[in-house]
Structure 1
C-alpha cells in the first residue's frame, strides 16, 4: 500500500502544479534518491510540469478570450433586441389593429385575451392583529390566475 496520499483526481490543475513544483524543489539534491535511480527521470517530470503549466496558461488565455466574446455577443444581442423592438413598434404604429398586416411581418402575435373563469377562494387565510388599533394583516395562499384580491369586512356587533 502506498504511503503517499496524492489524491490527484481531487486536485485542481493549480494544486497539481504546486505539488509538482514542490516535488521538483524537494528532489533537487535529495541524497535519498540519487539522480540515476529516479523514474521517471527529472527531465521527464520537469517536461510534464512544463507541459501542464503551458496547457493551463493556454486554457486561461482561451477562457479570457471566451469571456470577452460572450460580453461582445451579449452587447450585440442587446442591440438586436432594441432594433427588433423598435421595428415591431414601427410596424404596429403604421398598421395599428390590422391583424392581417401585422401577421405578415413575421413577428409572433399575442393571443386574444380569454377569461380565466371563476377562481377558487384563497386557502390558508390568516388574519393577525397589528400594533395599530383597527388594523389587521391578512395573508393567504396565492390563487393561480388571480392578480389581486378584494377583501370585505364588517363590524361585528356585540361580544
Structure 2
C-alpha cells in the first residue's frame, strides 16, 4: 500500500470547507486542521505511488482555496512500526490531544529514529518519508499537558534529530 502525507496552506478561515472537500476524495484516509506552519495535514493511502500523484495533482491541487502544498511520500516503513500494538487501550483518533511532528534527522538515521519512536506509547503512527522532511509521526494523548511533555521530553530527546516541527490538530475544524 502506497502512503503519503500532504501538508497544505489554504485561504484564511476556509480550513473546515477544504477539509470537507479533501474527505470526499477517494484515497484520503484522514484530513485535519493544524496549528503551525501548515493549516491542514491529510494522509493518502492508495494501491500505487502513481495513484497518489494523480490524486495530488488532479484533485487536491485543484481545490480553489488551497494556496500551497507539500507532499511527503512514505518509504514503506510500516513493517518497522507495528500500529496494532499501539492500539491496545487507546484507539487511533480517540485521545483528546493530537499532533503531527515532522523531523530532520542526521544523515542515515531515519530508520533508527523510526525504531526509537516505536518505543513511545503515545506515538500512534510513524513513517520515514521522502520530501522536505525525513520522518513524520502522529502523537495522541489524554491531555495537552501530556502531549507537550511527550513532544518536548520523549520525542525531542531522541538521538540524531536535527530539527522538528509540531502541527497540533485542531478538533474544532473536524467536519464529522
User: What TM bracket, shorter-length normalisation?
Assistant: under 0.3
Question: Which is helix-richer, 1 or 2?
Answer: 1
For CA contacts below 8 A with separation 6 or more, give which structure has more relative contact order: 2
Question: Which is strand-richer, 1 or 2?
Answer: 2
